[in-house]
Structure 1
Amino acid sequence: MVAGVSSSPSGAARPRKTYTAALAVLASLFFMWGFITVLNDILIPHLKIVFDLNYTQALLVQFVWFIAYFVMSIPSAKLLERAGYKWSIVIGLAIMAVGALGFLPASQFVSYAFFLTALFVLASGITLLQVAANPYVSVLGPPETSSSRLNLVQAMNSAGTWVAPIFGSLLILGRSSSGSVEGGDAVATKLTAAQKLADAQSVQLPYIGIVIVLVLLAVVFALIKLPDLGGETRRVAREERRKHSLWKHRNLVFGIPAIFIYLIAEIGVGSLLISFITRPDIGALTPEDAGFYLTLLWGGMMVGRFAGSFMMRFIRAEMMLAGAAVGAFALLMIVIFGTGHLSMWALVLVGLFHSIMFPTIFTLGIRGLGPLTEEGSGLLIMAIAGGALATGQGWIADHYGLQWSFLLPAVCELYVLFYALWGSRPTAALPEETLAAEAE
């Protein structure tokens, strides 16, 4: 992937190492956590019916999921410093497997609290993977191509999000009592206790399959060798971080809220898409059929990330981000003020413009941090907790209507535009460190 020469500490020229194999293996992680995260968009309408929830209560699924990023990011960063990238990934996969296994007792006892607890554990494992993998990919090659590289592997994350709605629609919504009934929310009170038990247990088979895959991935990562860029980075950081302040870097200071605010928009749109397009005045679809359009939303993110990774070789990342923010805002205005299939397709197309936002904000946020890169990355990963505030969109939907609730993600797009045009400009930039790859 990377060709050329770099200088060793002694000044001698040496060939720059290639990391194509390592990136290919890491791409599987991005695929898997994307797949699992987007299954929440299937769980929300499903559990809403099983437990007779309003929108705010149903979006507690996303609240506990993303609050895990806030609670577990610092412990994950500490574990990463002690265990290194490889074993942090193995531990993260094991924690995820435990959380997915928790869906069995949750469905057996038909307990919403158990479901939320299992989701928190599952999200805690993903937090550890995020803390390890995102900065690892960013430094796994030359800094000038970090945005393109992270967009490329994030495209594999989007491939997982594209497959998940198909999987969930067939194995969860398709097997539930309400999955084939138009206006699924309206039939919640008509389900018998036996139907609710059967619907709750419909998640068992999919999540058992997830447990098996996660355990296999943990074994694979335990056995393979990955370039250890972490050891050198951590040594430099310990020596140099006291000489510098993270808060002098404007791109990081404004990048943290940019990630936080963007996640509110991304999660709100995905979580409420099925409920929105099943409405008689929008799409008049069954929940199972609406799952297909959720696939298109996340498929748009996959296509956008592959396209964005290529286009960023020729267009500055800041300009790409600004264009994406304007496009997403315009589509959300159509969602709010339009009706019928016009609003439905506008919401689906938002995914195309959301595609590059997270990886681009992330790489712009750590640009010029030098030895502070890992610490800055940890703060940006913690900001993913913003997805928890998508619950606020549920509150707006309960009190002012589902269509008006999309004003919240629309406002979020405006902050992303501000960040692209001004907030992302680096100040007090530090020289990038040349990292030596050491096999673990």
Structure 2
Amino acid sequence: MSKNKYLLPIIMITSLFFLWGFAYGLLDVLNKHFQETLNVTKSRSTLLQAAYFGAYFLIALPAGYLMNRYGYKTGIILGLLLYAFGAFLFYPAAEAASFNLFLLALFILASGLTCLETAANPYVTVLGSPETAAHRLNVSQCFNGVGSFMGPIIASFLFFGDSQSNNPESLESVKMVYVIIGIVVLVVAGIFVKTTLPEIKEDELLQQGSRVGKPMLQHSHFTLGVVTQFFYVAAQVGVAALFINYCTDNGVGISNAKAATLLSVALILFTAGRFVGTVAMRYVAAPKLLAAYAFINIILCVVVVLNQAWISVYALLAIFFFMSIMFPTIFALSIKNLGHHTKKASSFLIMSIVGGALVPYFMGLLADHYATSIAFLIPMACFVVVFMYGLKGYQVKNENEITNADKKILSDA
């Protein structure tokens, strides 16, 4: 980030982190809202997460190939257009009061977010020195957290408000929120169309110091990173998806509206954790901080499973703080020194977000058949995987080797 030419692109890309954070912040409130307005079970409501994060699995590779051919900017513009289209589809879904149509709209919206994430996450890491990539990505992800906690604040007022127009039986507020989102996203897309962004080429990645000595899938820090990201996102999404249910089922007398407000508090802690973690990385190595945060979350999950009234609710809130740095840190560590594999590797990492589509459903089943608290055994196990990656799995091996393909890129340059 020392070069001024990268400052404006980083600011613009960081705005995208806010936009998809806001979309995600609304998602977990919709779970509880649709349980009541559309009369769906807890496990069925988690199909919202399945549609949302399933799109990441199906669209990430095509998005990566598109960027390889046409560049980061094309992927960003396509992502914004799909985001807007999916948001506008919420209007007919609300008119028809159709849960299935909501799932389709959310899938299209999330397809756009997949394009944005596949482009923006690696783009931020290559706009500057590889040594500060994890720190730089955490800075951008801070604004993702800001969007994430603003979503539930707005949703808790509109979806669980006390007025007649905002009563829990109404889907009018859902239509209004997503139409406004669609309009804003279209405006942002227009700005990106008119703005010139620097395109980082493969030869530039090599000249920045990245080296690739073997095929992408033979880099253990990358393959283990994909597995770790799968389980981390599974934990994050599962914890957030059942947050409101846990609070209302806990026996301490928390209403839906208060639980949604607490979710906003949790996401504020998540955002604060990103800022604190970003500063901490100036003094503590990113892998060590990742391992420490994961270990703390394992302990907190045990407290949540034990269901000790408000103590467990506070532990649930604290989990968000210590999840904060995990996604960007795992992402940056996984693509470190991958050279011309960076864009493709990013697609695989975004695909791993499918953990958020699959695992919360099983948490919903446990909540339906046993208790919501028992479901948190699953994220506890997921954090064990993150802890192991932070201890050792992140290590880059043979990073100074250069393949013939890379030599050709440098010679052509």
TM-score (norm 2): 0.92
1:227 to 185, 198, 202: 198
Displacement, 1:419? Answer: 0.7
Superposition map of 1:228-307 within 5 A: 228-230=199-201, 232=203, 244-279=214-249, 281=251, 283-307=252-276
Q: What is aligned with 2:362?
A: 392
**Mapped pair 1:338 → 2:307:** yes
Q: What is aligned with 1:327?
A: 296
Q: What is aligned with 2:320?
A: 351
1:67 to 49, 54, 59: 54
2:346 to 368, 371, 377: 377
**Contact 1:179-1:286 at 8 Å conserved across structures:** no
Matched AA of 2:291: A
**Contact 1:175-1:202 at 8 Å conserved across structures:** no
Matched AA of 1:375: K
Q: What is aligned with 1:38?
A: 25
Q: Distance in 2 between matches of 1:37 and 1:431?
A: 40
Deviation sequence 1:66-124 (CA, Å, 0-9, x none) = 01011101111122123211122111101100000010010001101100000000000
Deviation sequence 1:219-246 (CA, Å, 0-9, x none) = 111111211114756999xxx98x7311
Matched AA of 1:32: L
Superposition map of 1:147-226 within 5 A: 147-174=134-161, 196=169, 199-226=170-197
**Mapped pair 1:103 → 2:73:** no
Displacement, 1:313? Answer: 1.5
Q: What is aligned with 2:277?
A: 308
Matched AA of 2:195: I
Q: Distance in 2 between matches of 1:96 and 1:235?
A: 33
- What percentage of aligned pairs have identical amino acids? 36
Superposition map of 1:78-157 within 5 A: 78-157=65-144
Deviation sequence 1:31-73 (CA, Å, 0-9, x none) = 0100001211110000011122111101000011101011101
Deviation sequence 1:357-387 (CA, Å, 0-9, x none) = 0001011111121222222111111101110
Q: Distance in 2 between matches of 1:334 and 1:405?
A: 13
Matched AA of 2:126: V
How many correspondences in the alignment? 402
Tell me whether 166-175 or 20-29 shows the greater mean CA deviation: 166-175
Q: Distance in 2 between matches of 1:227 and 1:370?
A: 17
Q: What is aligned with 1:11?
A: none
Structure 1 residues 45 and 233 mapped into 2: Cα distance closer, same or farther (>3 Å)? farther
SS at match of 2:249: coil
Q: Distance in 2 between matches of 1:67 and 1:160?
A: 21
RMSD: 2.4
Q: Distance in 2 between matches of 1:219 and 1:380?
A: 28
**Contact 2:68-2:343 at 8 Å conserved across structures:** no
**Contact 1:80-1:88 at 8 Å conserved across structures:** yes
Tell me whether 104-113 or 372-381 shows the greater mean CA deviation: 372-381
Matched AA of 1:163: M
Q: Which stretches in structure 1 are left out of the alignment for 5+ residues?
A: 3-15, 181-194
**Contact 2:165-2:172 at 8 Å conserved across structures:** no
**Contact 1:42-1:173 at 8 Å conserved across structures:** no
TM-score (norm 1): 0.87
Q: Distance in 1 between matches of 2:14 and 2:216?
A: 29
**Contact 1:69-1:384 at 8 Å conserved across structures:** yes
Q: What is aligned with 2:331?
A: 362
Structure 1 residues 430 and 366 mapped into 2: Cα distance closer, same or farther (>3 Å)? farther
**Contact 1:233-1:371 at 8 Å conserved across structures:** no
Structure 1 residues 403 and 225 mapped into 2: Cα distance closer, same or farther (>3 Å)? same
Q: Which stretches in structure 2 are left out of the alignment for 5+ residues?
A: none
Matched AA of 1:86: K
